[in-house]
A = this chain, B = another copy of it.
Amino acid sequence: MNNVVVIGSGNVAESLARAVAESGVHLVQLWARNEARAAEIAALAGCGWSSRPGELAPADLYLVAVSDRAVAEVAAALPIPENAVVAHTAGSVPLEALPAKYARRAVFYPLQTFTQGRRVDWAEIPLFIEASTPALQAELEAFAGRLSRRVLRADSALRARLHLAAVFACNFANHMYALGERLMGDAGLDFDLLKPLIAETTAKALGAPSPSAVQTGPAVRGDMPTQERHAAMLGDGLLQTIYRSISQNIWETSRKI
């Protein structure tokens, strides 16, 4: 797998294209429907680009880094050589979403959140590999090992569970920050004032044997009067449901320790 094409123009495609190029593997092309983004990412990764299906470059490995719902369609529509390896990068999409005409199909799932313009250290990102044959599994793991020190195996069922864990640890944690910001704003206060708290919360969780071991606050203390006051401040809608269900779960979880 010495010649790679990255397909897609989103956050994953951008970060992946740069990582492949920097790994020393030959990144032949960035292909994406979105011409402007294709050119932009190709400039970052120092590779060729195209937005036309007919110009898709020959390669050994096609990394399909498009949104979950586009994986099947894009892989079916593009004139990828049928003897090439085709791997998608989506956490919640099964291997079988890739067309069966590709005998050498695979999944290359990086457990990370990617954002346009942000660099991340690929060497630390766990890469979960699934392949249609044991030989391809070994081949793709060797390729992944050029990008990261943490290469693991995960079939589609395990990857779905991983992805669910990632939704809590990333998307939902981020939403708790967003709600903190909104509540500060409602009180006329700047989000900046919460930043030292957020930074320390995460530093603590990452340094502890377990995040639940370092939980603090009214829920883990079973402080019901404070919880009732908080619930009243949130009104009767969805925010109160969120507050009560998380608080109850913190309390129940802490009792099991």
- CB within 8 Å of B: which residues of A? 11, 67-69, 92, 111-115, 118, 120-121, 124-126, 150, 152, 158, 160-162, 164-184, 186-187, 189, 191, 193-202, 204-207, 210-212, 214-221, 223, 226, 229-230, 233-234, 238-239, 241-243, 245-246, 248-250, 252-253
Contact across chains for A249 and B245 when beta carbons are under 8 A apart = no
Contact across chains for B165 and A194 when beta carbons are under 8 A apart = yes
Among all A-B residue pairs, the 6 with the closest Cβ atoms: A169-B180, A171-B217, A165-B183, A177-B211, A173-B176, A161-B187
| Majority SS at the chain A contact face | helix
Contact across chains for A193 and B245 when beta carbons are under 8 A apart = no
Also in contact, A229 and B160, with CB within 8 A (given A210-B178, A245-B245, A248-B238) = yes
Contact across chains for B164 and A173 when beta carbons are under 8 A apart = no
Q: Which chain B positions have C-beta within 8 A of A196? A: 111-112, 120-121, 124-126
Contact across chains for B202 and A198 when beta carbons are under 8 A apart = yes
Looking at the assembled complex, report how far the CB atom of A123 sits from the nearest CB atom of chain B, in whole angstroms: 10
Looking at the assembled complex, report how far the CB atom of A18 sits from the nearest CB atom of chain B, in whole angstroms: 15
Also in contact, A174 and B211, with CB within 8 A (given A92-B229, A162-B189, A245-B245) = yes
What CA separation (Å) do A191 and B226 show in the bound complex? 31
Contact across chains for A246 and B250 when beta carbons are under 8 A apart = no
Contact across chains for B111 and A216 when beta carbons are under 8 A apart = no
Looking at the assembled complex, report how far the CB atom of A188 sits from the nearest CB atom of chain B, in whole angstroms: 8
Q: Which one of B167, B205, B226 lies within 8 Å of A174 (CB-CB)?
A: B205
Looking at the assembled complex, report how far the CB atom of A210 sits from the nearest CB atom of chain B, in whole angstroms: 6
Contact across chains for A210 and B181 when beta carbons are under 8 A apart = yes
What are some 16 contacts across the A-B interface (CB < 8 A)? A111-B197, A112-B197, A114-B216, A118-B207, A126-B193, A162-B187, A165-B179, A168-B177, A168-B183, A169-B179, A169-B181, A172-B179, A173-B198, A175-B250, A176-B176, A181-B210
Q: Which one of B11, B115, B205, B242 lies within 8 Å of A198 (CB-CB)?
A: B205
What CA separation (Å) do A184 and B238 show in the bound complex? 27
What CA separation (Å) do A186 and B229 show in the bound complex? 35
